[in-house]
Amino acid sequence: QVQLVESGGGLVKPGGSLRLSCAASGFTFSDYYMSWIRQAPGKGLEWVSYISNTGSTIYYADSVKGRFTISRDNAKNSLYLQMNSLRAEDTAVYYCARDDYRIDYWGQGTLVTVSS
Amino acid sequence: QSALTQPASVSGSPGQSITISCTGTSSDVGGYNYVSWYQQHPGKAPKLMIYDVTKRPSGVSNRFSGSKSGNTASLTISGLQAEDEADYYCSSYTSSSTRVFGGGTKLTVL
């Protein structure tokens, strides 16, 4: 069965950096686009970024452009999100998700808290 | 990248039908048949309920259906059950090749 397991969340100070990872299993990872989606506490879903199956095509939400970098390692069945210059408003649960013009599988999420 | 517009809340009694709307623009909802709907229970990850406007993933009850007219998509839940109480989000592909979500609708089963 498809499994997406995020890791790397935690508490970080404003201006700091964090790298999230997502381990995928149960499907041919290299065949699928992947996305990161976040949800601030008590708020709605916000799409953050996606990456094509080969990594050649990448898009970001305006709110994270220039600060976040998405990447993938198909040999390791892994997705990453490098987050720099973190702000309080980046505090959220970050979900790794399989993206096929719809999000058909979601991870359980990892909490990122940006606070001094 | 403005969020799609959903009502903040809807409610219905068991057995009734409810409809949740999702309004966008010709650059997202109206321009593509890539509208999807997600159900989220508290503390859980979202679950795909409808994709490509009208399609249901395997395992999703046929009480859930989707439609679209112009720039507005809709999710209808018929035969409302207590377990349907959750937050619902719509999402669309956009002309910028990005994705956008709606603000979410809280469904209360009375």
pLDDT per position as a tens digit, A14-41: 999 999 999 999 999 999 999 999 999 9
Mean pLDDT of A3-17: 97
- Is the pLDDT score of B88 beyond 70? yes
Q: Are A76 and A9 in contact (CB under 8 A)?
A: no
pLDDT at B1 over 70: no
User: Coil, strand or helix: which one is B92?
Assistant: strand
Q: Is the pLDDT of residue B101 over 70?
A: yes
Tens digits of per-residue pLDDT, A64-108? 999 999 999 999 999 999 999 999 999 999 999 999 899 999 999
Rounded Cα–Cα distance for residues B49 and B68 (Å)? 15
Q: Supply A9's token pair.
A: 């969340």
- Flag whether residue A61 sits within 8 Å of chain B, measured between CB atoms: yes
Contact B36 A103 (CB under 8 A): yes
Question: DSSP 3-state helix, strand, coil percentages of chain B (rounded to 5)?
Answer: 5, 50, 50
Burial B66-95 (b: 16+ CB within 10 A, else e): bebeebbbbbebeebeeebbbbbbbbbbbe
Q: Kindly state the average pLDDT of the residues B4-20.
A: 97
Q: Which residues of A touch B22 (CB under 8 A)?
A: none
Query: How many alpha carbons fall within 13 Å on the CB side of residue B86?
Result: 21
Determine which of A6, A22, A39, A103 to mutate to test the interface with B (most B C-beta atoms within 10 Å).
A103
CA distance to partner chain A, nearest, from residue B106 (Å): 11
Residues of B in contact with A46 (CB under 8 A): 101
Q: CB-CB: which of B1, B36, B100 is closest to A102?
A: B36
Best of B99, B100, B106 to mutate (most A CBs within 10 Å, chain A): B99
Residue B2 is predicted with a pLDDT of 81
pLDDT tens sequence across B28-59: 999 999 999 999 999 999 999 999 999 999 99
Q: Is A27 exposed, middle or buried, given 0-12, 13-18 or 19+ CB atoms closer than 10 A?
A: middle
pLDDT number for residue A19: 98
